[in-house]
Structure 1
Amino acid sequence: MPHHWFAAKVWRYRVAGLMAILAVTSLLILVGTHLLQRSRKKTPTPPVVFLKTHKTGSSTVQNLLFRLGEKEGATFAFPSYSYQFSYPDKFKAEFVDELPKHSSHFDILCSHMRLDVEELKQLMPSNTIYITILRDPVQTFESVFSYYTVSVPAFLSAKKVAVTTEYRSALSVFLESPESFWDPEDPENGLGKNPMSFDLGLDSQHWNTSWSVLQETFHLVMITEHFDESLVLLGAMLKLELEDLAYVRLNTRSSNNVSPLDETTKARIRAWNSLDVLLYDFFLQVFREKSEQYGLERLRRDVAQLRASTDRIRWKCVARKEVPPGELEDLIRPWQSYSVTILGYHVKTNLTKQEQGFCMRLILPELQYHAHLYFQQYGRVMRPVPTE
């Protein structure tokens, strides 16, 4: 099996991961085994595939789907190894772990993958709802570069050059001559150009006709810059309650790691990521059309209700936000990139056991929640990526 860079790096910290799993298990014992007991919905949520794009706010959406699936006893389609579906290879049904004996089909797939529509349709039921999320390409690329500076070879090469110069960031060095750093034949460079197009399975170098397939496949393409509006449309599609749509922003960087961008830098990012710009602009227009179909006044009213409900839940749950990783226990410490600091949350202590269970899940980082749900579904810890 080919080497998968991100998954392999995660599993360098396997011991810490196992400690996190044990911490999750201890938490569950502490707060009881029936924290999430509620009456099931009269109308079950249809199966969902969420294509989790990089650095677009997708971890926040994934957490929402994790909570929804756990509450409803859904069967998750998890990777056979680690946290991703053999990324950056394109998705194959064979990358998915076995269907549990008690299940007739998978209900939710929301782990990182590189899209292959036909392979997904082989795996998921015919009534599956397909969703993804896109973000302004300038902000996406800045975040991708910052987060993966030492993981993407092209970015790392630029960083090495930047170290030898004064007052120049790795990002500015890269954007001055990106072709000199970027090798399109290296699969580990996939996120180095048009990262959203790459995640969507497109050729990141050339325009092609796959966009019509994407438009036909995805029932909703969420837009990060219209996140709450996107959640309202998602909630209407899946018939979710306001509490189901509550969120805190996960996997956020320290402000010290966010690069200010002047107009020249923004223009260079757009030029280097021209396919992502076209992709984003296209689906932004599609999103606006869906918003109009929903009704703009209705949408504004429902967004206001969502924000009021979410604010109440955050006030109830969150004692402190933007907590540095050194002040977080293993259970709630986000995975740390080599190049940026990822912040987390502290939950209030004056909660009932049921409230604590809900609030902990609201702020639980991606890897810990993934590991917990995997163990809950299969009764075993996740397998590391094979080294050969």
Structure 2
Amino acid sequence: MGLRWLWRHRVSALLLVLALLLLLTLLATHSLQTNRTYELRPTADRRNQRRAPEKHTSTITPNTHQPPKHTTTARAERQRAHPPLVFLKTHRTGSSTVQNILFRLGEREGATFAFPSHTYQFNYPDRFRAAFVDELPEGSSQFNLLCSHMRLDLREVRKVMPQNTVFITLLRDPIKTFESVFGYYTSITPAFFSAHRAAANQGKSALSVFLDSPETFWDPKEPGNGLAKNPMSFDLGLNNQKWNGSWPEDLAQLEEAFHLVMIAEHFDESLILLGALLGLEHPDVAYLRLNARAGNCVTELDENMREKVRSWNMLDTLLYDFFEQVFWEKAAQFGLERLKTEVARLRASTMKMQQKCVSRAEVPPGELEDLLRPWQTETATIVGYEVRGNLSLQDQGFCVRMMLPELQYHSHLYFKQYGRDMRAAPAD
């Protein structure tokens, strides 16, 4: 039958086991609840693209942001030899933090970014197409980094990126992911906003009202509801509405395509494996947690709500459980004791960078200057950082980039690459 058939069969078997375990868990926890039947219909692909609040600003300190005592000629040569990279940026998983690491790495190395031809996303939530990418800038022979939001289509991505491209992404516990997606996109996602309006008369949280009867609010034909069910599966280009016969094959293709699927609950371990994959050192992957909500914007979930989230996002649960197992297989290959040692060193390096750069953390947006103010939604407060004063020009440039929000950094790099501001999304 061949090794390839056996490998795919392993995926199907593991998925079946995970599905059965999940089903038994749900049946046990819901044994006293009324059974519901959900109507699953094909979803529309389109959602209104998020508007950017600001144009490019040129107030970022020039590119003198090397980490102190960290640069040699030999090291620079190694960095330029890094393979091209695609990072599938999933929603509300910690992906803005990883993107910032890659933005800093790419800027330092003079990488050519594959940017959207309009705004900050590749026409999300449409499936990615090569035509969504801006032109190759003059003097560049290929794209080196693609890490803007998209809904994955592997075939189309491969038309843009070189053959030796490394693929990575990040997944998070589906319960935490969905709570965060709901809170962040309540005013943007039609299904969530309908629940938000209904909750105004019930004295309950919008998330609780939605979970009581999600099928009441969720219309899969409504543009914009892609993230309202199994959002990680949706980002990965999978069928996010219901299990079907193509899921094992689709998941096998993803396992084959992605060199590393990071796990948010093991973020530092993930960065160590990423560093090993790309030949990076600890200061390269030191980070600040970006695009985080203020604590009072996070909805606390009791066990009943957690089970409802898990039930509504069963495919994301299967996806996460599968790739968490794959992650630990890769960790075992790296060496668990070695991984523990490297994580401790990374945390020490990260702490050193944070102490050097951060004057205040979790700063409300109203107290931040425009350059460092994250984009805000109507229903979530996104906090940021205040940079320390009295830094050298070099250290200031490095520190600002560590805490630079996605839209500002994206806009800066685009202007630096093309010498012009990003284009607005075309009117419908």
Query: Any idea what SS the aligned residue of 1:319 has?
Result: strand
Deviations 1:341-369 (A, max 9, x none): 00000011121111100000000000000
Contact kept in structure 2, 1:88 and 1:187, CA below 8 Å: no
1:289-368 equivalence runs, <5 A: 289-368=329-408
**Aligned residue in 2 for 1:193:** 229
Mapped to 2, the partners of 1:125 and 1:33 lie a distance apart of 27
Deviation at 1:126, TM superposition (A): 0.7
1:266-277 equivalence runs, <5 A: 266-277=306-317
Contact kept in structure 1, 2:291 and 2:405, CA below 8 Å: yes
Mapped to 1, the partners of 2:46 and 2:395 lie a distance apart of 41
Contact kept in structure 2, 1:4 and 1:86, CA below 8 Å: no
Q: Is residue 2:109 matched to residue 1:76? A: no
Query: Any idea what SS the aligned residue of 1:122 has?
Result: helix
**Aligned residue in 1 for 2:13:** none
Identity %: 60
Mapped to 2, the partners of 1:109 and 1:379 lie a distance apart of 19
In structure 2, list runs of 5 or more residues that go unmatched: 1-44
Query: Any idea what SS the aligned residue of 1:130 has?
Result: strand
Mapped to 2, the partners of 1:3 and 1:265 lie a distance apart of 29
Mapped to 2, the partners of 1:61 and 1:34 lie a distance apart of 21
| 1:147 alignment partner, one of 171, 184, 190 | 184
Amino acid in structure 2 at the alignment position of 1:86: N
Mapped to 2, the partners of 1:359 and 1:179 lie a distance apart of 46
Deviation at 1:196, TM superposition (A): 0.2
Query: Any idea what SS the aligned residue of 1:267 has?
Result: helix
Mapped to 1, the partners of 2:185 and 2:350 lie a distance apart of 31
Mapped to 2, the partners of 1:27 and 1:76 lie a distance apart of 19
Q: Is residue 2:305 matched to residue 1:265? A: yes
Mapped to 2, the partners of 1:294 and 1:88 lie a distance apart of 36
Amino acid in structure 2 at the alignment position of 1:236: A
Amino acid in structure 2 at the alignment position of 1:151: I
Query: Any idea what SS the aligned residue of 1:115 has?
Result: coil
**Aligned residue in 1 for 2:252:** 212
Runs of 4+ in structure 1 deviating by more than 3 angstroms, as ranges, are 32-39
Deviation at 1:35, TM superposition (A): 4.3
Deviation at 1:101, TM superposition (A): 1.4
Mapped to 2, the partners of 1:147 and 1:112 lie a distance apart of 16
**Aligned residue in 1 for 2:208:** 172
Deviation at 1:206, TM superposition (A): 2.3
Amino acid in structure 2 at the alignment position of 1:165: Q
Query: Any idea what SS the aligned residue of 1:6 has?
Result: coil
**Aligned residue in 1 for 2:283:** 243
Structure 1 pair 33–220 and aligned structure 2 pair: CA distance change class (3 A):
closer
Amino acid in structure 1 at the alignment position of 2:90: T
Matched residue count = 373
Mapped to 1, the partners of 2:223 and 2:410 lie a distance apart of 25
Q: Is residue 2:196 matched to residue 1:159? A: yes
Mapped to 1, the partners of 2:202 and 2:388 lie a distance apart of 46
Deviation at 1:42, TM superposition (A): 2.8
Mapped to 2, the partners of 1:242 and 1:34 lie a distance apart of 19
| 2:417 alignment partner, one of 368, 372, 377 | 377
Query: Any idea what SS the aligned residue of 2:118 has?
Result: coil
**Aligned residue in 1 for 2:218:** 182
Deviations 1:65-115 (A, max 9, x none): 000000000000000000000000000000000001111000000000000
Structure 1 pair 36–315 and aligned structure 2 pair: CA distance change class (3 A):
closer
Mapped to 2, the partners of 1:123 and 1:205 lie a distance apart of 29
Query: Any idea what SS the aligned residue of 1:247 has?
Result: coil
Amino acid in structure 2 at the alignment position of 1:250: L
Mapped to 2, the partners of 1:275 and 1:26 lie a distance apart of 44
Contact kept in structure 1, 2:172 and 2:265, CA below 8 Å: yes
Deviation at 1:33, TM superposition (A): 5.2
Amino acid in structure 1 at the alignment position of 2:230: N
Deviations 1:273-309 (A, max 9, x none): 0000000000000001000000000000000000011
**Aligned residue in 2 for 1:47:** 84
Contact kept in structure 2, 1:270 and 1:277, CA below 8 Å: yes
Amino acid in structure 2 at the alignment position of 1:75: T
| 1:57 alignment partner, one of 94, 110, 127 | 94
Query: Any idea what SS the aligned residue of 2:59 has?
Result: helix
Mapped to 1, the partners of 2:123 and 2:171 lie a distance apart of 22
Q: Indicate the RMSD between aligned Cα atoms, in angstroms.
A: 1.3
Query: Any idea what SS the aligned residue of 2:290 has?
Result: coil
| 1:278 alignment partner, one of 318, 322, 330 | 318
Contact kept in structure 2, 1:3 and 1:387, CA below 8 Å: no
TM-score by length of 2: 0.85
Mapped to 2, the partners of 1:214 and 1:193 lie a distance apart of 20
